[in-house]
A and B are shown apart, each in its own frame.
Chain A
């Protein structure tokens, strides 16, 4: 089994062919508007749009399934926490109260709370697919170029892109190290007690860290020898100028964001109420 998670795969789709900078700008605008608005109508429209974009991108479910499950768990935990710490948040936000049923203590489920949490769930559903899509459909080095283009220092941009790029290599190292560890009798499966298993995992981590440091050392000398970090500015081989489709994509996104903001703030509140 070759573990490949969240790594870029070259594909021929309208989403992949957008330039990295355009995708980054779209992604930021998208996330900001999704974060600002609590307007259910807007969120539902955005959700439909994001599903459509996902469809167009031809990204395979297997490429992100694991991460999606991971996020889902946190998503559920988050919802539980909201309810535990603030069971009447919805009532405060919408200013009305319709009790559905009582759970005991200060915990009463209200229609407002359900609606409020439903909106939050929608926000997640709108942002997460786009974030995944951005990672899966953006060439890491183009990503670096695009970060640099929107004003991030190129050294930081490059370290981000290298980190993304070395994920598969480190996964391969991990696989090899864990194989040889298992051959020496280190059990990483569920048969071992949890405390022992944790210890065993630590003994795999040491060689993994050491070999990663070795990797970093090698790549950083190679980069220095090729003049990295010498000038204040650099140019990009993959940094493409914006094409027509980039402008169209960004135009669409910006008008969508504008529409969202207008609809959201039309009645003077971020929150759209059905009560």
Chain B
């Protein structure tokens, strides 16, 4: 009887309900969502994960009304949101119930000040100026940016931008908060803070929170009620975190579980829900320290890398975009031949500026840049490009031809290389990049990750000694991340030096041989990544996060805790390559 009662109240409080729901975009043949059954109750906090193309974004679009109003298509089954059928309403009507925080806050600032941006939803609802002021102030205070109402977006840090977006949604008094990859453009530390903020707001207001994200470990920094795993347009798991993490479902869907759990499994520990695997702080460690220590000792010591031969040297570089603010201050930096180097640091620390100076896009105010023992400070952009290739973060900023072959051949054509030689070199590069089968295709039909590889190919074909990549894996899921990085590592073994600008900690830890951390235009650290990510003072200053492997090692009381990180990385790479 009691149970029946509970079931009825549950049904009453269901705010989102998909029943046998399928959806096909008008431009596509195959359904993107199929047979979705999902109900989310008032006040729940739900995480939706899945690889790229699994349909998780489409699911989000169904909830906020972009499907079918902005992206038309055909749906089957039923969907009810806050007691209404969205297909019969409008995006605007739905925005009264569902507030969406999209990824990349940079591209969606509508207002010229923080206050104005927060007010946007109220302006559109024709709320009176007096009430609007009150609600904007309240929303800004709730996320802790009350003093920034007059600031312009350029003055904000990534975290503050994210908070503005969140306040903009809160101002609308919606019941459901939907976060579409909220961590995508944030550094690890800011990401953690965002997760904490979302959690606190949910606790205080009792709103329903839905987070779509593939950075599972970071979202789990604060408890969620359920995790929904999607793959290939369908829901493959709908479980509480402890149960999901004890199963193998994540791996089967091509997702990455938290690293500390993988380490436990490698050490032969069976993960069970009773161990509280959903958070490292809650994790029951009984009987795990022994296997971990034995596993680590059994793998032997990892060798140090070979002797270094300097290839590129920055000597005492200073630079500022205008006279008032110096971005880099007497920075010295050495890149060795054939190594993979990561440059990290919080937003605005000067990471991208360093790469632009190396390529000659800007000239340093003082200091010099040396390549192969020769001062290249006076070389033009084009002369440097013969030796140093630069791949921008957004592939759409680089692609200027409609056909893949033409795009990759472009640089060689401009250099007047004869046609047969071009063909040979382009085909060679396309093979290396795994793009050979697409050589006759237009670029526009390729996926984001493939486009990224096209841009890398178009640089590689020029046979540079050094290739600099700005956030090479941004916006890619685990499988694509893996492919991309294994590919870049392959370049390393061909003798090409790779410099990556990134704040992706996994990337640093797993692939970089060395990490240089910049802070306030100076070099803060220059060391092996596992040492950097286990050093609390550096981690803090660079907005990084201590790797959970190290926290696990400390918690288990292992001898030489840093060693666990290195052992894990080496072993894990072996496993992933099969």
A residues at B contact (CB < 8 Å):
2, 10, 139-141, 162, 165, 173, 176-177, 179-187, 203-204, 206-207, 210-211, 214-215, 218-219, 221-231, 233-239
Contacts and interface: CB of A to CB of B under 8 A. Distances in A.
Interface stretch (B247-255, B285-293, B409-417): B409-417
Interface stretch (B15-23, B115-123, B370-378, B421-429): B115-123
Contacts of A207: 396-400
A237 B119 contact: yes
B390 A227 contact: no
Nearest to B398: A180
A10 B115 CA distance: 16
B95 A184 contact: no
Nearest to B178: A225
Contacts of B322: 2
B381 A183 contact: yes
B126 A235 contact: yes
Contact of A210 (B96, B113, B396): B396
Contact of B129 (A181, A227, A239): A239
B18 to A, nearest CB: 20
Contacts of B116: 141, 237-238
B525 interface: no
A187 B414 CA distance: 9
5 contacts: A139-B112, A179-B356, A183-B389, A228-B92, A237-B129
Interface residues of B, number: 65
B396 A184 contact: no
Contact of B124 (A180, A222, A230, A239): A230
Contacts of A230: 90-93, 95, 124-125
Given A180-B392, A235-B129, A237-B132, A226 B121 contact: yes
Given A176-B397, A184-B458, A185-B415, A219 B70 contact: no
Interface string B444-469: 00000000000000110010000000
Interface of B: 64-66, 69-70, 90-93, 95-96, 100, 102, 104, 107-108, 110-113, 115-116, 119-129, 132-133, 136, 152, 168, 172, 321-322, 356, 359, 361, 381-382, 384-385, 389-390, 392, 394, 396-401, 410-411, 414-415, 458-459, 462
Contacts of A211: 394, 396-397
Given A180-B397, A184-B385, A222-B102, A231 B124 contact: yes
Contacts of B384: 183
A241 to B, nearest CB: 9
B70 to A, nearest CB: 6
B385 A219 contact: no
Given A227-B124, A238-B112, 7 more contacts: A183-B390, A206-B401, A226-B121, A227-B121, A231-B125, A233-B126, A235-B128
B129 A231 contact: no
A140 B111 CA distance: 9
A148 B379 CA distance: 52
**Minimum-distance CB pairs A-B, first 3:** A230-B92, A222-B108, A237-B119
A72 B123 CA distance: 41
A225 B64 contact: yes
A203 B401 contact: yes
Contact of A225 (B91, B93, B133): B91
Contacts of A2: 321-322
Contacts of B399: 206-207, 210
B382 A185 contact: yes
A227 B90 CA distance: 9
A187 to B, nearest CB: 7
Nearest to B104: A218
B400 A214 contact: no
Nearest to B389: A183
B66 to A, nearest CB: 6
B411 A184 contact: yes
Contacts of B104: 218
Contact of A206 (B64, B93, B400, B459): B400
A225 B410 CA distance: 40
Given A184-B385, A203-B401, A219 B127 contact: no
A213 B347 CA distance: 26
Contacts of A204: 400
Nearest to B91: A224
Contact of B381 (A10, A139, A182): A182
A167 to B, nearest CB: 13
B9 to A, nearest CB: 31
Nearest to B462: A184
A218 B399 CA distance: 19
A225 B111 contact: no
Contacts of A224: 66, 69-70, 91-92
Contacts of A186: 414
A180 to B, nearest CB: 5
Contacts of B102: 218, 221-222, 225
A228 B120 contact: yes
B455 to A, nearest CB: 9
A198 B121 CA distance: 44
Contact of A237 (B123, B381, B411, B414): B123
A183 B396 contact: no
Contacts of A234: 123-126
Contacts of A219: 107-108, 110
A182 B362 CA distance: 13
Given A141-B112, A233-B126, A226 B410 contact: no
Contacts of B113: 238
B107 A215 contact: yes
Contacts of A181: 400
Contacts of B128: 235
Given A183-B382, A185-B385, A234-B126, A218 B108 contact: yes
A139 B123 CA distance: 17
A21 to B, nearest CB: 14
